[in-house]
């Protein structure tokens, strides 16, 4: 099935349903700091169109949750408070731009720790879904730019019965859908959504 047809079906199948869009952070929402980590808000830079994309995707998805590995905390390069500050500011910027983040979930552990919450293990997503039982986990969608994100979606699907993977800037990944960026995905989704209602005029 072609990507465009599959996306159309993806949108149609989720209309009126309670489901979650999981989004990776670095390389999807913001620029990566090559060879390092985003240690503070001053190093955080949104990718072009990412804020506008999250506003559109918030219209599509009843729940939007960021899931991100941040082992810079375990390495002592930043504190948990530093990370929380970045994520608080991230959520505030998304809200100010008309979008919504229902949660920003981070694994602060080292890769060597073998924790269940570090992607490609799906622990961040499964824990959130367990805490929100009204959400249909089988309709989950996960957007990421790394092979580990695609593998996370596969493992989440194995546990829940479904999860669609969307790879951005990763054309060779064995994902269900491919787009060049989050903005690219949002632009295609926008064409498939009903128009936003016009604001109501105040009585004269």
Whether residue 201 is predicted with pLDDT greater than 60 in this model: the reply is: no
Fold observed for domain 3-190: Rossmann fold (3.40.50)
pLDDT tens string 99-148? 999 999 999 999 999 999 999 999 999 999 999 999 999 999 999 999 99
What is the pTM for the complete model shown?
Answer: 0.94
The answer to whether residue 198 scores a pLDDT higher than 60 is no
Q: What is the pLDDT of residue 200?
A: 53
Residue 26 known to be catalytic: yes
pLDDT of residue 3: 85
Neighbours of 159 (CB within 10 A): 14
- CB count within 10 Å of CB 148 equals 15
Q: Taking 80 as the threshold, does the pLDDT of residue 2 lie above it?
A: no
Per the residue annotation, which of 26, 145, 149, 176 is the catalytic one? 26
| 24 noted as active-site residue | yes
Q: What is the mean pLDDT of the chain?
A: 95
Per-domain residue ranges of the chain: 3-190
Q: Look at residue 22 in the predicted model and tell me its pLDDT.
A: 99
**Residue 85: pLDDT above 90?**
yes
Q: How far apart are CA 139 and CA 152, in angstroms?
A: 15
| Beta pairing partners, 105 | 67
Catalytic residue, candidates 13, 18, 24, 172: 24
pLDDT at 204: 52
The pLDDT, as a whole number, for residue 55 is: 98
- Given a cut of 90, whether residue 195 has pLDDT beyond it is no
Cα separation, 38 vs 70, in Å, equals 9
- Rounded mean pLDDT of 71-75? 97
161: left (phi over 0), alpha (psi -120 to 50) or beta: left
| Alpha carbon distance 34, 27 (integer Å) | 10
The yes-or-no verdict on residue 199 having pLDDT over 90 is no
What is the C-alpha to C-alpha distance for residues 192 and 204, in angstroms, rounded to an integer?
A: 35
Query: How large a percentage of the chain has pLDDT more than 90?
Result: 91
């Amino acid at each position: 099935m072609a990507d465009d047809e599959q996306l159309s079906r993806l949108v149609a199948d989720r209309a009126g349903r309670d489901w979650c869009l999981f989004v990776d952070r670095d390389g999807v929402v913001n620029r990566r700091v090559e060879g390092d980590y985003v240690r503070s808000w001053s190093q955080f830079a949104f990718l072009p169109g990412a804020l506008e994309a999250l506003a559109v995707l918030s219209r599509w998805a009843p729940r939007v949750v960021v899931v991100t590995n941040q082992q810079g905390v375990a390495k002592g390069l930043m504190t948990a408070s530093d990370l929380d500050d970045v994520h608080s500011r991230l959520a505030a910027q998304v809200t100010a731009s008309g979008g919504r983040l229902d949660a920003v979930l981070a694994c602060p552990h080292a890769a060597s720790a073998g924790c269940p919450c570090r992607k490609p293990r799906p622990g961040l997503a499964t824990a959130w879904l367990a805490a929100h039982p009204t959400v249909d986990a089988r309709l989950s969608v996960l957007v990421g730019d790394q092979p580990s994100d695609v593998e996370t979606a596969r493992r989440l699907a194995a546990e829940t019965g479904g999860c669609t993977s969307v790879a951005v800037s990763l054309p060779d990944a064995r994902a269900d859908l491919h787009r060049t960026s989050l903005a690219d995905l949002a632009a295609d989704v926008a064409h498939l959504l009903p128009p936003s209602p016009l604001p109501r005029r105040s009585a004269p």
